Structure 1
Amino acid sequence: MRARAIVVLAAMVLGAVVPGSVDRQSLTLATDVAQVAVTPVPCSTSGFELRFGNSGKTAVYADAFLDAGTSLTLSRKLVSSYLPPGYTLKVPISVNAPRGTAPGSYSIVVKAGSQKLTLPVQVGEPPTDTTGNLARYVPVTASSEHLPVYPACGAVDGDRDSEHWAKTTGWNDATKGTFPDWLQVAFDQPQSVGRVDLYTLNSKQYPAAGYGLKDWDVQAQVGATWQTVAEVRGNTAGLKSSTFTPVTATAIRIRTLASNEGPTYSRIVELEAYRS
């Protein structure tokens, strides 16, 4: 009983209500857009701003639950907050359609108290690569990701410009001082691969000779085994193209061994794979 009294007293001091007595009718839900458009490719995320408010005269602690079904991915599925009287919390929500998601109409349902909001989502047709780059628009994974700024998909988003590093493109591992790291792309079906281009960090502020990848292996998954098809050592350039006798592979992996900055991070701006 004493613990209950302390909770009630704390709530009164904060001007809030005791959990369980939330005025469910006072909660409000809104978004800044009427519809979200999404393209099902890696790192292509759209989003909206969830506006979660309290129109009542008493402060409340409240939860908003977001559900996009199994086809879409949301940056968060729960927003829990203290809402003073007349206050509206604005929360950015990212929406992603995994590769292979069928084009069409979907929806995101948001519930808070007795309130319910449905936001339409339109998933478009996946783009078609016309450059011959086999690594574009395919699933990508990494040994680790320095999130949220440097996801693995940032290395296959089509942006080779190191000046965009830490802004819109690039992968960076999350294990400082630990090598090897790896970045891998997987194909829907076996592909003949004879050349891999790797763009490492090479901007005016961060030149490759000081911050880019120095040593790495190019590996191909042939059948059930990984084969090293090329080795790069002592690199100081922003772009290194590795050519080798074509192999039929289901995946390509970069196994990083050293950086020009010393034992710090693996940094890849873009990874591309070609038949020859």
Structure 2
Amino acid sequence: MKLMPTGRRARLAGGGAALALVSVVASAFGGSALADRQPATATVTAEPSTVDIGPCLGGSTTITLANKRSKETYATVFVHAPQGATVSREMISTYLPAGYQKQIGLNLTMPQGTTAGHYQLELEQRPGQTIVVPVNVAIEPGQVCLRGAALTATATSAQTSASNGAEKAVDGNPATLWHTQWTPTKAALPQSITLELNGTYDVSQLRYLPRTDGSMNGRVTEYVVEASADGESYTEVGRGTWEADTSGDVADVDAPGARFIRLNVLNGVGGYASAAEIELIATHTS
């Protein structure tokens, strides 16, 4: 099914997601004032405020719910995705003590056949108002998404007794995961997972989706990406850090003529490494 863009005009970010905040003050009801229905105030923001999506048709933003009042409150946000798209959470409901804020990662996946263009994600707080997060789908000519059967994964460590082998990071199922060994002994970091591609590609991005089962163990926070043409000699093509949250992340890399891509995990939550899915954006060369 092809998903057609809306007629709504939105700015297309050329290189990356915009960093500005979209903000709205919406009313909720304070936990200590439910009986008399006195309204409290929660602030809803999304960062990045524009979700940019490429050929893998996935993107992320982080929702922040902040209680800036002097009394507790409850906040509920309903997530309305573009038609045919899926989100990691359709509703966010949380208790917020006075002066407290909570961040929730939100992953958005557009359906196969989506047409490049501008869409929108709506965050509706009840009672309250709705904020709109623009979703820009841009697919460069020749770009492909390498995932699932296009990749073969091996790792320096895996908890295979719990079905957390390296292959789970490329099985196309975000409910499964690769995880480094935790028993009978813990495999200390750094550890790595290597992807063998089904051809030679110029790789421009590595997309990382952390585990989706509610645990943060193994969420990668510091990494180095290496590339190889023969699986023997590797060259560093990117490095960086990611926040310890539940939203997906992207590593920009410059890896022409690659047949192998290795994600070296230097630091991760709990001293482990894990991944629900790893995908690559690339241009096919042979």
Query: Does TM, normalized by the shorter one, top 0.5?
Result: no
Q: TM-score, normalised by structure 1?
A: 0.44
> What is the TM-score with the length of structure 2 in the denominator?
0.43
